[in-house]
């Protein structure tokens, strides 16, 4: 085991839910130094939402879930947006189609 592995903290759950790649591989994929990545993941420097988003995007993972799991977004942050989504989900397909047609006239009409 290398000295770096001995000093490194275990991978946080949010990161393991995205990838099991090594930190070195993640850093390479992001184009950042593995030192910068390690500092944020180990908590030596604050974990930024940007880093969480960049990792999620690089691995085609759900960025909202990653932010929630990393503690950079809370369910209460999502409430205003959840209400709109719930309202849309409650509408029937017919109602949604009628609204789309109202907004965008069909050619030939």
32-69 per-position pLDDT tens digit = 999 999 999 999 999 999 999 999 999 999 999 999 99
80-108 mean pLDDT: 81
97-104 mean pLDDT: 86
- Of residues 6 and 43, more confidence is placed in 43
Q: Report the C-alpha gap between 53 and 63 in whole angstroms.
A: 6
Does domain 3-77 fall into CATH 1.10.260.40?
A: yes
Q: Report the C-alpha gap between 23 and 19 in whole angstroms.
A: 10
Domain spans of the chain, in order of start: 3-77
91-95 mean pLDDT: 91
């Amino acid at each position: 085991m290398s000295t770096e592995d001995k000093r490194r903290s275990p991978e946080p759950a949010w990161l393991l839910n995205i990838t099991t790649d090594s930190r070195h591989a993640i850093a390479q994929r992001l184009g950042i130094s593995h030192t910068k990545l390690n500092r944020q993941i180990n908590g030596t420097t604050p974990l930024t939402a940007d880093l969480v988003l960049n990792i999620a995007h690089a691995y085609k993972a759900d960025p909202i879930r990653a932010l929630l799991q990393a503690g950079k977004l809370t369910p209460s942050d999502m409430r205003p947006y959840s209400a709109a989504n719930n309202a849309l989900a409650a509408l029937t397909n017919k109602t949604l189609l009628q609204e789309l047609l109202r907004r965008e006239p069909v050619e030939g009409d």
